Amino acid sequence: MKGTGMTFEETVIPLYEPESKAAILRYSPAGKVPILVDGDRQVWESLAIIEYLAEKFPERRLWPDDAGARAHARAISAEMHAGFMPLRRHCPMNFRRQPKARELTAEVKADVARIEAMWTDCRKRYGGPFLFGSFGAADAMYAPVISRFHSYRVEVGAAARDYVNAVMALPAWHEWSAAAHAEPWTVPSFEVDDDSR
């Protein structure tokens, strides 16, 4: 929403605290974040939120105009939403981690190779600087991966690196990072840099 200039009010709920679950359940019947509240409507799950916003604000062009490109963007967004579990487990998202390389397992390397191939293909087909030309839903879905690639110094080729740099140059990215660094709470296990994980 920030990346496309939508106006909204954000409520931050610290996770892994004793009161976290109850606080989330006030907004989300699934007990998970993110959740979008629009009047009396509650929309949870990232892709459902994106689809809701795309219908409500078609002028923001969250998905590409071309039907083929739109199907492609939805497919890789769904792949991100449901997949890459080895990468998620081995490289937990942590904006506050001092960027440092970590030895990757074979499964994580396979995830990285698949992601890099997707990004490279999209930028070649649709011209960049983002996956489908201008910033959109697919880029928002891959922002957590970009964070991991940065935090763990994951090596990728020039095209994928250019894409990472384009997303990290966005004002919305800088706001996201600054907000994470300003949070007064921490999760102790996330603060430990255990490369054996």
Please write the tens of the pLDDT for every residue from 173-194.
999 999 998 988 877 666 555 5
pLDDT at 195 over 70: no
Grade residue 15 by pLDDT with cuts at 50, 70 and 90: confident
Mean pLDDT lowest among 28-42, 153-167, 183-197: 183-197
CB 132 within 8 A of CB 104: no
pTM: 0.91
Q: Is 53 exposed, middle or buried (0-12, 13-18, 19+ CB in 10 A)?
A: buried
Report whether pLDDT(196) > 50.
no
- What domains appear along the chain, each with residue ranges and CATH number? 1-62 (3.40.30.10), 64-180 (1.20.1050.10)
Provide the mean pLDDT of the chain.
Answer: 92
Summarize pLDDT for 95-153 with one digit per residue, the tens. 988 999 999 999 999 999 999 999 999 999 999 899 999 999 999 999 999 999 999 99
| pLDDT > 70 in the chain, percent | 94
C-alpha span between 116 and 21 (Å, rounded):
35
Round to whole Å and give the CA distance between 93 and 74.
23
- Give the alpha-carbon dihedral of 141, 147, 150, 156, to 10 degrees: -20
pLDDT(197) > 70: no
